[in-house]
Amino acid sequence: SAHVSFEGRRRVFTVSNQKGGVGKTTTTVNLAAAFAHMGATVLVIDLDPQGNASTALGVPHSAETPSVYDVLIGERPLAEVVQTSPESPSLRCAPSTIHLAGAEIELVSQVAREKRLSSALSSYLEGAGSDVDIVLIDCPPSLGLLTINAFSAADEVLIPIQCEYYALEGLSQLIGTVTMIQKHLNPDLVLSTIVLTMYDGRTRLSQQVAEEVRAHFPDQVLAAVIPRAVRVSEAPSFGQTVLAYDGQSVGAVAYREAALEIHRRGSAQQGGDATVGADE
């Protein structure tokens, strides 16, 4: 596999879209696995009460499991809830539990309610997580306080867009929220990356949606496109990412390409070294 240097800037992404079922979780866990394959140490923060990212990474997240809920509400250090995915020693996950479903409401009365995740993540990255290169935060399908916490904690917003009808619908609301966050909570936040998901090259519709999104966001949309593929949807029921489940499948290849492209673009932006060497 191609190993890449992640020395230098750490990157924190929030994977967001207030629509459900567009591929947020799938993109989070598979990019995380792809980055880990490339040699990065990766942390996934599961902010969706459904816990699908935790499931896909093979990480326990029953009601008793210490989770992101305890971090946001109970002020437990992030280091105490982070688990290692059985898939790779360099792939970690802060799981979500069902308790997180109440957090959106419980957070309302908390001090610095928008910054709870940001503070917890900063402490972690200064301590036990100092070796982490990439953080990916999987958001719930809403623009509530959990997503706002993710936006406050991140440097970059990554939006998965499903190549379907109404792909762009709701996007202005999402971008409006990002702008609000930039103004009031996190001036450094950038909408850096858009990933087209569930692309079906046989349909005119997928092609049209891809063209339309590229026309609106020429600098954000990745050249790598994630195809609709059965192996991608099967992997989570085995508690695996598609990279572990079927590493040669089109979905696995596409997510590896996407991760490599994100890395190259990031390195180019910081004027850094984006060289990739084959180590095997």
Partner in contact with 226, chosen from Mg ion, ligand ADP, none, beta carbon below 5 to 8 Å by kind: ligand ADP
Q: Which residues contact Mg ion by CB under 5 A?
A: 24-25, 48, 52
**197 bridge partner residues:** 162
In the chain, the amino acid numbered 192 is S
Choosing from 4, 6, 16, 24, the residue that interacts with ligand ADP (CB under 6 A) is 24
- Beta-carbon count within 10 A of 106 CB: 15
Euclidean distance between CA atoms 224 and 253, whole angstroms: 10
Minimum CB–partner distance for residue 261 and ligand ADP (Å):
16
Minimum CB–partner distance for residue 267 and ligand ADP (Å):
26
* Site membership for ligand ADP, residue 198 (CB under 6 A): yes
SS3 content of the chain, % helix, strand, coil (to 5): 40, 15, 40
Binding piece for ligand ADP, criterion CB under 6 A, among 23-31, 38-46, 73-81, 128-136: 23-31
DSSP class of residue 227 equals B
Q: Compose the 118-157 pattern: x for residues touching ligand ADP by CB under 6 A, - for all others.
A: -----------------------x----------------
- Torsions phi, psi of 30, nearest 5? -75, -35
Considering the complex, state which of residue 28 and residue 90 has its C-beta at the smaller distance from ligand ADP: 28
- Residue 214 token pair: 């590229």
Euclidean distance between CA atoms 248 and 36, whole angstroms: 16
Choosing from 4, 12, 18, 22, the residue that interacts with ligand ADP (CB under 6 A) is 22
Q: Which of residues 204-243 bind ligand ADP (CB under 6 A)?
A: 226, 228-229, 232-233
Partner in contact with 228, chosen from Mg ion, ligand ADP, none, beta carbon below 5 to 8 Å by kind: ligand ADP
* Site membership for ligand ADP, residue 203 (CB under 6 A): no
Strands (E), the chain: 2-4, 11-15, 42-46, 83-84, 91-94, 134-138, 156-162, 190-197, 276-278
- Give residues in contact with ligand ADP (CB under 6 A): 20-26, 52, 141, 197-198, 226, 228-229, 232-233, 251
